[in-house]
Structure 1
Amino acid sequence: MITQGIAVLVNYGAYLAPGLLLFGLWFALTPRSLAAMRILILLAAFVLMRDAMTPLGLWALSDAVSIAFTDNALVLAALGGLSLVLIGGLAYVAPELWRWVVWVKGPRAIGLVVGLGVGGLIGVPLRLYQGIEVQAIPGYWAWLPGMLVLAYGANALEEVLFRGFLQGYLEQQVTPLRAALLSGVAFAACHAFLALSVTQLGWPVLLFTLIEGLACALVRMRYGVLAATLTHGTAILLIAVPMV
């Protein structure tokens, strides 16, 4: 599993390298004063990183309202850990964007409970709809720890981008509620290529991501990015299954 996992990660990195080099050059050439442009560049680069996982077989969406991830727990944990490393890297290369990132807003404990609860409200009904019995899935429990790291690590990066940078920036221009709505709709729109071209599953993907995006944005508005990360990560964890 380790050798196979390393090979998968190397292949993923090599596949992304040309595109990420261009995005990195674009970002580096864009003045810090053009904050909105720099945020959009980061969002586009993230979409590339996420959507490239599909043709490489790292994950797959289905019309059964589930997301199947590679059954290699090492790969999942590595990708989740890499996402956390990228968050730290962004703090170094783009410190001017971090002034809009509100990690915690209001009572921390309440925010954590709300984040987990809203994620459950999204994920549990879909899990019940799937009708999947985890004990019938070979290797599910060995796969789950890696999926935990990916669910919360990778979605922490996505929430920093959409709810930290984008929504935080928009709150300086419009009301917090409108900023949340814009963030949620932008999140769904950034899944359009995945829904309509990469997977061709169409409107169900867009509807789910719109609901999820608006929920995370509203949680962020009230309780901060950390709570929104729990919402996002919990929802994905509940509907995820290993590829078999």
Structure 2
Amino acid sequence: MIEEGLSLLIDYGTYLLPGFTLCALWFWLTPKTQPGLRIAILLLTFVLLRDVMTPLRLWSLSGDVQIGFVANPFVLAVLGALSLAIVAALARIAPQLWQLVVWRKGNLAAGLALGVAAGCALGVPLRFNQGIGVGEIAGYWPWLMGMIVLAYGGNALEEVLFRGFLQGHLEHHTSAIRAALISAVAFSACHSFLALSVTRIGWPILLFTLLEGLVCAFVRMRYGVIAATAAHGTAILLIAVPM
């Protein structure tokens, strides 16, 4: 499992390297006095990191918004850990943007509870509609351990970018509600290439990501990025299955 997983991860890194290098160079050359452009570059880089996974068969999407992830839990755990490493690296390489992140507001336990509940509200109806029975999936429970790391680690990175950097930046220029709405629309728009070109599934992905973006943006507005990560990670965990 580990040997096969390392091979998949090396292929992913090799395939990704040219585009990632250009994005990193673009970010480095962009003046720190242009935070909006720097955030846009980071969002584009994340879209690259995510969408490259599709042709390499690390994940797949179906028309009923069921997400299949590679069945190797080692790969999932490493990808989740790498996402958290990128979050930590952003604190060092982009301290000005890092200051925009509102990690928590109000009671942390209440925020986490609301986040998990919101994630369940998004994910449970789709899970029932898809008729996913975990007892019918071979190797589901070992796979789930790796998937938990990816669901919350990978989406922590996504939430830092969209609800931390973007929404935090916008709140300095407009109302909190408008910043949340822009964050949600931008989140869905950044799935357009995945929906319309990479997978050709189309509007179901855009509708789901718009709803997901709205939920996470308003959870972030009330309780912060940690709670939004709980919502996002829980929703993905509920609709994910091994490929």
Q: Is the 8 A contact 2:115 2:227 kept in 1?
A: yes
Secondary structure of residue in 2 paired with 1:172: coil
1:87 Cα deviation (Å)?
A: 0.3
Secondary structure of residue in 2 paired with 1:60: strand
Which consecutive unaligned segments of at least 5 residues does structure 2 have? none
- 2:59 maps to 59
Which whole-Å CA distance do the structure 2 matches of 1:31 and 1:106 have between them?
A: 34
Paired amino acid for 2:35: A
- 1:224 maps to 224
1:65 Cα deviation (Å)?
A: 2.4
Cα deviation per residue 1:155-183 (whole Å; 9 max; x = unaligned)?
00000000000000000000000000000
What are the residue-to-residue correspondences of 1:112-127 with 2, within 5 Å? 112-127=112-127
Which whole-Å CA distance do the structure 1 matches of 2:65 and 2:174 have between them?
A: 34
- Give TM-score scaled by structure 2 length: 0.99
- 2:97 maps to 97
Q: Percent identity?
A: 63
Which whole-Å CA distance do the structure 1 matches of 2:159 and 2:12 have between them?
A: 22
What are the residue-to-residue correspondences of 1:1-244 with 2, within 5 Å? 1-243=1-243
Secondary structure of residue in 2 paired with 1:241: strand
Which whole-Å CA distance do the structure 1 matches of 2:65 and 2:6 have between them?
A: 29
Cα deviation per residue 1:14-67 (whole Å; 9 max; x = unaligned)?
000000100011000001010000000000000000000000000000013210
Cα deviation per residue 1:113-138 (whole Å; 9 max; x = unaligned)?
00000000000010000111111001
1:216 Cα deviation (Å)?
A: 0.2
Which whole-Å CA distance do the structure 2 matches of 1:231 and 1:108 have between them?
A: 13
Which whole-Å CA distance do the structure 1 matches of 2:82 and 2:46 have between them?
A: 13
Supply the RMSD in Å over aligned alpha carbons: 0.5
Greater mean alpha carbon deviation, residues 165-174 or residues 64-73: 64-73
Secondary structure of residue in 1 paired with 2:60: strand
Which whole-Å CA distance do the structure 1 matches of 2:31 and 2:202 have between them?
A: 37
Cα deviation per residue 1:96-124 (whole Å; 9 max; x = unaligned)?
00111000001111101000000000000
1:150 Cα deviation (Å)?
A: 0.2
Which whole-Å CA distance do the structure 1 matches of 2:236 and 2:227 have between them?
A: 15
Which whole-Å CA distance do the structure 2 matches of 1:58 and 1:205 have between them?
A: 18
Q: Is the 8 A contact 2:140 2:242 kept in 1?
A: yes
Which whole-Å CA distance do the structure 2 matches of 1:197 and 1:45 have between them?
A: 17
Runs (4 or more) in structure 1 with deviation over 6 Å come to none
Which consecutive unaligned segments of at least 5 residues does structure 1 have? none
